[in-house]
Amino acid sequence: MGRSVVIRLVLADDQVLVRTGFRALLDAEDDMEVVAEAGNGDEAVALAVAHRPDVVLMDIRMPGVDGLAAARRIADDPDLAEVKVLVLTTFELDEYVYEALRAGASGFLVKHTEPAELIRAVRVVADGEALLSPGVTRRLIEAFTRSPAGGGSATVAPDPRVRALLTEREQAAVGLVAEGLSNDEIAECWVVSPATVRTHVSRAMTKMGARDRTQMVVMAYRTGLAAIPKTPPDLHT
């Protein structure tokens, strides 16, 4: 299943002026349409159910049901499997972002992001393609998995049970995705087509039971797959 040509969005932020600014920016794009606005998490979930948008742009801090709880409810609803949540935060390493990843968010942005980056990020998340801000995302996920709250440790040996599910190429693809590389960047490293990389990443994601690339990266760090060699043997066979 693929998304429609026009990316349909729900904006969830308790500040009307913020929503108004985002709406003006996003509606100005030919391939984007804001279909509804929410002032809290409850409204965001209800609107996600009612409109089945491609992306919910979700502020973390809202009164009542916050963005984390709302993101978790959307991720846990099988009827909303195609709905991606892009969370907004004030700080790049806001502790709430750790929870957002665990809640099933597909990516995150800081609120002072440049307009062009916001537009690009929405398209990226809608396509389920690459993680946002690879360097920042990588640092954040590493910090998450190594913190007590993340349940990780500084060194994680590859989990043989998880590795057994994946071919060597799929393991290598997961490792590079965990470093923040897009399919195009991996294809350039391997000297293959992006379609070939996309196939390996998609198969790995399915085998790992990951909702999207962000969840797959979290799982890669937690199971040690992020530390395996990134160039598999017999790549062109």
Distance CA 75, CA 5 (A): 23
Q: Is pLDDT larger for residue 234 or for residue 209?
A: 209
Across 151-158, average pLDDT: 53
Parts of the chain belonging to CATH 1.10.10.10: 154-227
DSSP string, 33-44: EEEEEESSHHHH
75 in Cβ contact with 103 (< 8 Å): yes
Distance CA 184, CA 171 (A): 17
85 in Cβ contact with 106 (< 8 Å): yes
Lowest mean pLDDT among 2-6, 8-12, 101-105, 210-214: 2-6
Looking at every residue in the chain, the average pLDDT score rounds to 82
Residue 108's nearest CA partner among 87, 125, 92 is: 87
Across 22-44, average pLDDT: 97
* Whether residue 232 has pLDDT greater than 60: no
**Pairing state of beta strands 55-59 and 84-89?**
parallel
pLDDT value at residue 139 = 61
* Whether residue 197 has pLDDT greater than 70: yes
In order of 4, 126, 131, 213, the CA distances from 134 in angstroms are 26, 17, 6, 12
* Whether residue 59 has pLDDT greater than 80: yes
166 in Cβ contact with 212 (< 8 Å): no
pTM given for the model: 0.69
* Whether residue 1 has pLDDT greater than 50: no
pLDDT value at residue 196 = 93
Helix runs in the chain, H state only: 16-27, 41-51, 67-76, 95-103, 115-127, 134-146, 160-163, 168-178, 183-190, 194-208, 213-223
Most confident of 4-13, 153-162, 206-215: 4-13
Q: At what angle do helices 168-178 and 194-208 cross, to 10 degrees?
A: 90
pLDDT value at residue 182 = 80
Q: Looking at domain 7-128, which CATH architecture does it have?
A: 3-Layer(aba) Sandwich (3.40)
Lowest mean pLDDT among 66-70, 155-159, 214-218: 155-159
Q: Looking at domain 154-227, which CATH architecture does it have?
A: Orthogonal Bundle (1.10)
pLDDT value at residue 44 = 97
**Identity at 14, one-letter amino acid code:** D
